[in-house]
Amino acid sequence: MIKIDARGDACPLPVVKAKKAIAELHGPGEVEVLVDNEIAVQNLTKMAQQKGYLSSSEKLAEQEYRVRFTIKDTPAADTAVLGKVKQQAEAETCIPDARTDTVVVIASDKMGEGAEELGKTLLKAFVFSLTQQDKLPKTILFYNGGASLTCEGSPMLEDLKALEAEGVDEYVRYRREDAERRERGQAVIYLDNAATTLYKPPEVGQAMLDALQTAGNPGRGAHAPTLHASRIVYETREALARLFHAEGPACIAFASNATQALNTAINGLFGPGDHVITTVCEHNSVLRPLYRLQRQGVEVSFVDVEANGVLCYAQFEQLLRPNTRGVVVTGASNVTGNRTDLAFVSAFAKNHGLLFLVDAAQTAGAMPMDVQALGIDVLCFTGHKALLGPQGTGGLYVRPGLQVAPLVVGGSGVHSFDERHPVEMPTALEAGTLNVPGIAGLGAGVHWLLTQGVETLEAKENAFARLFYETVREIPGVRLYGDFTAPRAPIVSLNLAGEDSARVADALWEEYGICVRAGAHCAPLMHKALGTVEQGVVRFSFSHTNTREEALAAARAVRSLAEE
């Protein structure tokens, strides 16, 4: 028996290791694979079914599973293929290479009407099968006259080059580049922008590099490098203030992300005896700070949603109490993409003298935002999504005159002999050294947004989301979540019948090179409301960097998976 420990290995490594171990048996035997997740068990079991191996699985402990394969004999077809490959590998005309040139040969000139589309379908199926192997091919081309395997030095290569000149290998060249890009950690079709935007303006990286090499510690000295760092920080505050239509740069305090900003605001404004109204649409970055405050004596109520995920706005008045101190809402659901009617919530808060806090993780940079017009008291944002900055950046806008107790106190660069941390904004909420390279990158991203126009970019990404939605909405077995009759974030979430969302997302990546997010998206109450706690949802989120072709390709992939 061969034993393989694949715990900690990401998909598809457990399957690859199992295949290699089975090949090493050279006949009947057993292979045992240890993995640490159910998806790996499912993939291994599926591989066994496809190959005709006997398999069994057993849960040994929490996050520990054993999958055992029993190989009675090497299938004749596998033996023939292996023999042929071995024979060619030993041929004197072949130059050793890590990959095999594989030629898909389809007599398309003799197949009649529809030959081109059929050829593409067959080619796609064959390419997918090759991507499941240990080594990818170098070239895959149409060739009239049958099928053959060959390698460097083959007399067929001149004919293949002629076909390549005619463009018949464009699809396969694209797939080969996909594989190379995956090895570099680059995505093929990236539709996970609600998690983080992957493609930033080149100015972002350059600004970060420049800051790493030239910026000192802002506010800690009077020499050129520290003054340069202070200018970087101030200019980014200024750009954010312009973007959000804030009263001035001093209203912007930096944080490491929206989560830290929300923790700062929620813990700094509410305390025992207060009542807070929030919604079931919220991310755990809002829910968990509120849950912790609940245990300390803060009361929390939740506005529910309708079947399509739209807030039941009448409940805001119904949940009001004499001790209600504030309202905390998301700008848009990261699950459904439904936007919150911030004007309505603002009017409710203003009418009752309540604090109005907004989680803008999904909306800052993705839609116009005017904090003064909306009467927002605190706006929390992250830098790495639609603001196009790097991860590890974010912050909060605080209305002038509103005092937020700091979550962290310490070094401030001023008033060093005071026992209490400074109360003036933004120093009040920025203890310790700031992430100047990150803030430089964020500033570059925001300046780029201001130059391009948020409204222009918003229209572009929403057009891609709408195109995808319109293309998949009629596919049998596809269930969509959210209200698509109103303005929304560029998010489309769906499920395929009863299929687990993680398996669908995995198939989209493995078979089509499409990046999406599956699961609960850190928004448990929304999934309870939608009835998707067990299944989760598959979320497609678009950016202005996407294309019409990518939206349509993603829709075709959904259709193909739905038809399987």
The residues annotated as belonging to the active site are 11
Q: Name the one residue in this structure whose structure tokens are 């075709």.
A: 556
Q: What pairs with residue 357 in β-bridges?
A: 328, 378
In the 3-class helix/strand/coil scheme, how is 295-357 assigned residue by residue?
Answer: CCCCEEEEECECCCCCECCCHHHHCCCCCEEEEEEECECCCCCEECCHHHHHHHHHHCCCEEE
Query: First and final CA of the chain: distance in angstroms?
Result: 35
CA distances to 270, 271, 409, 546 from 422, in Å: 20, 21, 9, 44
Amino acid at position 199, single letter: Y
Amino acid at position 253, single letter: A
Which of 156, 158, 138 is closest to 146 using CA atoms?
156
- Rounded to 5°, the CA angle 107-113-118 comes to 60
The values of phi and psi at residue 395, to 5°, are 165, -165
Q: Are 250 and 426 a contacting pair, CB within 8 Å?
A: yes
* Three-class DSSP category at 38: helix
Which of 288, 273, 193, 86 is closest to 550 using CA atoms?
193
Beta strand 275-279 with 324-330 is parallel
Dihedral, 122, 126, 131, 134 alpha carbons, nearest 10? 180
339-365 burial, b for 16+ CB within 10 Å, e for fewer?
bbbbeebbebbeeeebbbbbbbbbbbb
Q: Are 309 and 335 a contacting pair, CB within 8 Å?
A: yes
Q: Are 506 and 457 a contacting pair, CB within 8 Å?
A: no
Q: What pairs with residue 541 in β-bridges?
A: 192, 491
- Spell out the residues 6+ positions from residue 562 whose beta carbon is closer than 8 angstroms to its own: 475, 476, 477, 478, 496, 497
